[in-house]
Amino acid sequence: MTDDLMKSSGSGDAGNSTHADEQRLYPKYPKVRFRGFDEPWKKVKLGEISEKITQKNNNSCSQFPVLTNSAEYGIVYQKDFFDKNIAINTDNYYVVHTEDFVYNPRISKQAPYGPIRVNHLKTGVMSPLYYIFKIKDDFNIGFFEFLFIGNKWHKFMYQNGDSGARSDRYAIKDKVFNKLPIYIPQKIEEQKLIFEINHKINSLLYLQQRKLELENKLKKQIAFYLYSFTLTPNFKHIEVKNKKLGDIVDISNGIMGDSQKKSGNFKLTRIETISNGKIDLSRTGYIDQVSDEKKFLEVGDILYSNINSLTHIGKNAIVKEKHLPLVHGINLFRLHITNNQITPNYLHGLLNLPKYKWWVKSHANPAVNQASINKTELSSLVIKYPDLDIQNQINNINYSFAQYWDIQYSKKESLCQLKQFLLQNLFI
């Protein structure tokens, strides 16, 4: 289907002319569209193509389930989203049917002006705080579903509404909201094609995300067998050493520095730099001087998060050669291996096992906002490891899985980029 897409040049804004004059003097075209369509798109107001839903649920014993509008997941059952029923009295709730649209004024990072989503579930009821509307039958519902997932309508919201008395909600009057300008293809066939290609990309993205989730479960299960030496008969009767972490690594604190500096002699890692077992140098601070040369990280060192939430404390990553020269901040420990009995990759994999993560959480100091673990506690962690030959076999298996994971994750990122491209260029 993408072979049928072609680029189309647009024109300038119309200023303060009427709708008819604007269409005549300043025709609008999307940057990318399907071949066979060359008509300019027409400008309408939301109130001209939709009807507000005002049907109330006047029976609190109604069989209709309570729905909620989530920026991330769309319209979902409230009980599933919150793991319990939040609404107690639903007498004044609105009845929402399949293919009705819902505007939730609650703002978030994913939806800075609140999400507009279509109901794909069965009939339910929703809070009167939401604005519910139905697109008229003359138009393709799917076209508007993806239009509202994008941000083409955000400028109007920014210019005509405000955050209101509550900072987590965006305030805009119904009468103003209905003036929201929308550009739509004149032919419903083009509307359908735009829906279909976006729907296919969404389906592929969902399947790829699901694949990553299943691969992650498989990876964790195989890691359990690998590190317990039960995956193959060759791993039976392996001699395993038990030692405290402090006996095989030197654990050192980071140094103070201005993590907000934009330049300096040396890069300074921060807690945000550890993600998915990797160091992201795109989010670092800088420092001008390092008084102790031993503070410089070496290839094979492991950066270990010592201050974070209980969920993320203990995140760690191996320093690669391309990261040097590098120092680390006070939110990270440096684990420097002091003997040749264990490899950095093996120790990195070991520290990410659930049982060791649980140990760290149980020995951490749980503060209100952040948990922390000190060097003494971490040094007492007892780890098990076999000889180097077995370690390297396990490292090779982990490396293969990591390579495969990176490929699959890149596919997901490519689909996300394609989705954003379509949302920006298939609509006006």
Same-domain pairing of 163 and 269: no
What whole-number distance in Å separates Cα of residue 169 and Cα of residue 166? 6
Angle at 117 between CA 116 and CA 119, to 5 degrees: 145
Question: Is 420 contained in some domain?
Answer: no
* Confidence class for position 287, pLDDT limits 50, 70, 90: low
Same-domain pairing of 150 and 276: no
Question: Is 407 contained in some domain?
Answer: no
Same-domain pairing of 152 and 64: yes
Same-domain pairing of 253 and 350: yes
Omega prior to 325 cis, within 30 of 0: yes
CB 242 within 8 A of CB 384: yes
Question: Is 204 contained in some domain?
Answer: no
Same-domain pairing of 268 and 364: yes
Question: Is 305 contained in some domain?
Answer: yes
CB 32 within 8 A of CB 93: no
Of 137-151, 186-200, 216-230, 339-353, give the lowest mean pLDDT range.
Answer: 216-230
The radius of gyration computed from the CA coordinates of the chain, to the nearest angstrom, equals 28
pLDDT at 233 (0 to 100): 57
* Residue type present at position 61: C
- Say if residue 99's pLDDT is above 60: yes
What whole-number distance in Å separates Cα of residue 132 and Cα of residue 86? 20
Higher per-residue confidence, 264 vs 377: 377
Same-domain pairing of 379 and 248: yes
- Say if residue 344's pLDDT is above 70: yes
Domains in the chain: how many in total?
2
pLDDT at 10 (0 to 100): 47
Same-domain pairing of 258 and 366: yes
Omega prior to 386 cis, within 30 of 0: no
Reported as a single tens digit per residue, the pLDDT across 120-177 is 999 999 999 999 999 998 899 999 999 999 999 999 999 998 765 566 889 999 999 9
Question: Is 414 contained in some domain?
Answer: no
What whole-number distance in Å separates Cα of residue 404 and Cα of residue 398? 10
Question: Is 228 contained in some domain?
Answer: no
pLDDT at 251 (0 to 100): 93
Tell me the mean pLDDT in the region 286-313: 79
- Say if residue 252's pLDDT is above 60: yes
Same-domain pairing of 260 and 137: no
Alpha carbon 87 to its chain centroid, in Å, reads 28
Task: Please say which residue of 147, 166, 184 terminates a domain.
Answer: 184
Of 160-174, 230-244, 305-319, 326-340, give the lowest mean pLDDT range.
Answer: 230-244
- On average, the pLDDT of the chain sits at 84
**Residue 164: which residues within 8 A CB-CB, separation 6 or more?**
105, 170, 171
Same-domain pairing of 245 and 140: no
Same-domain pairing of 269 and 377: yes
Alpha carbon 117 to its chain centroid, in Å, reads 18
Range of the domain at 156: 42-184
Reported as a single tens digit per residue, the pLDDT across 225-240 is 888 876 555 656 678 8
* Residue type present at position 147: L
Tell me the mean pLDDT in the region 330-343: 90
The CATH number assigned to the domain holding 151 equals: 3.90.220.20
Same-domain pairing of 58 and 175: yes
What whole-number distance in Å separates Cα of residue 21 and Cα of residue 27? 9
Distances (CA, A) of 98 to 95, 118, 124, 133: 10, 8, 9, 11
What is the biggest distance separating any 2 CA atoms in the chain, rounded to whole angstroms?
Answer: 84
Angle at 248 between CA 243 and CA 254, to 5 degrees: 125
Tell me the mean pLDDT in the region 203-209: 96
Same-domain pairing of 369 and 246: yes
Question: Is 254 contained in some domain?
Answer: yes
Distances (CA, A) of 336 to 187, 210, 253, 392: 66, 37, 11, 19
List the structure tokens of 162: 């405000």
What whole-number distance in Å separates Cα of residue 329 and Cα of residue 192? 53
| DSSP character at residue 65 | P
Task: With 0.85 as the threshold, say if the pTM is over it.
Answer: no
Question: Is 145 contained in some domain?
Answer: yes
- Say if residue 23's pLDDT is above 60: no
